[in-house]
Structure 1
């Protein structure tokens, strides 16, 4: 989640529906009562000596707002772990940071952020840092700096076939597989000139470009800005993953990343992973007590490679 995310409460109202000329009344859910609360967003990265979080004030949807107007400046922010308490300093409006070369975020450890500001309810959020992961059984083996040749999707292509390489993910500590992992492929040089166009046109339109065409400069710019990063989430510790053709949208340098994410991240996103929520008043399962947002922790494995034209 971006640290610049702004928490807003959206109230969706549905109308009664007449069915087969009979009057049918659907009970509306109770509207969510807006409360001005602190919004916390932050990611503690395993092994890092830096803690950076973002604080905002929840804003009613009918109000005009931007990331500057919602930024919460002047809060007191404390990081707690073991018997230690560290104060985060505000570096820019809404951004609070702690950095010390002698400090390291440690796997398996619990960290809590507390934030308070004037009359707003004091908030707290806790994350338990996941253990490191490693990539195993990669075929073919890819190292940073290597080059791969793209394999276009033909008329008979499947969702993840053809693929460039396959692999599995394993925790470095037995029995400590993360609650959720995230696969990301980022095209680092997206442009009209590097856009992949050799795939079956219909399959690429549906599965790779999500219905975004290429008939105008506006469409191409949408592809560049919205499809330069392809993401897949998994909770299966035994899965074999195939980096199929749908992961690649532009030629040139790619950043292949695998993230281990904590239980708080899993709880926040699981409803979207399993099935789209249908409750108009649904809010994600936040671990921020007294407020909104998400504090989570992560570990990343990263390989940069060059994707060549076929």
Structure 2
């Protein structure tokens, strides 16, 4: 059985807003990611995707729950104790313009983690390592002494990838790494990440709002809505058999490059978004769901395995499959 690199148990992150109010950014998330696999995390802006990634990394402290990295419980550790895990967990930021220091040269940006972590102290050896990393991510040697403003967005993001690779991590969280790039450059960066994973066995958490991107790179997908997981399964199963109404709406929003796309029915999500500040019990998607019933807003709905490896948090789907299973048992 493959080993889990990352596992969370009932992970929560609330932000205080006001005297006694809390914004539920991440609410009761449970994930397991095997070594060398990619978990895609999708949802609308503001659903808690980025906060989930940063909470796992320890960049923001969790409110409650547990985080296990390579079998070790790292939740609640101080920055000093977390330092030994920093090399194993890296982050590729969304914006290649603001995530790198504009006053530093490219070579210094990529080589800084090697210096800070004491991996290569010799300046000449460190430069050689940086040049190797640059070559690995498709950056020319003559860019070593350039400044970030002299490069385009695609090459700036390659700097971010090279910087993450410099300490040879086991797990990399990719926080919408291609959303700020042109489509052709997106494909190059995605293929680069997949090639590096195949070569080095990296484990990825790939955060994005673009389902067409996550389909290309992910083994499993977790769909988030207002801090909660509403559906979780393999990438193949999600696109073949989406169950939650929110997931279905997300899938129909994918642009199809075909003249026949005009005949595809689009699920339009109507209604008011539930406030993530101290939300009441019940399904947080109920106000926008066309199938919502009174019971949807009266009690919290658990994430249930309705099919092998396919989890969903929806009363309608859970009841339908229960009725179907009972009918098959009678036969």
Give me the TM-score of the superposition, normalised by structure 2.
0.24
For the pair shown, the structure with the greater C-alpha radius of gyration is 1
User: Which has a greater percent of strand?
Assistant: 1
User: Which has a greater percent of helix?
Assistant: 2
Higher relative contact order (CA 8 A, sep 6+): 1
Give me the TM-score of the superposition, normalised by structure 1.
0.25
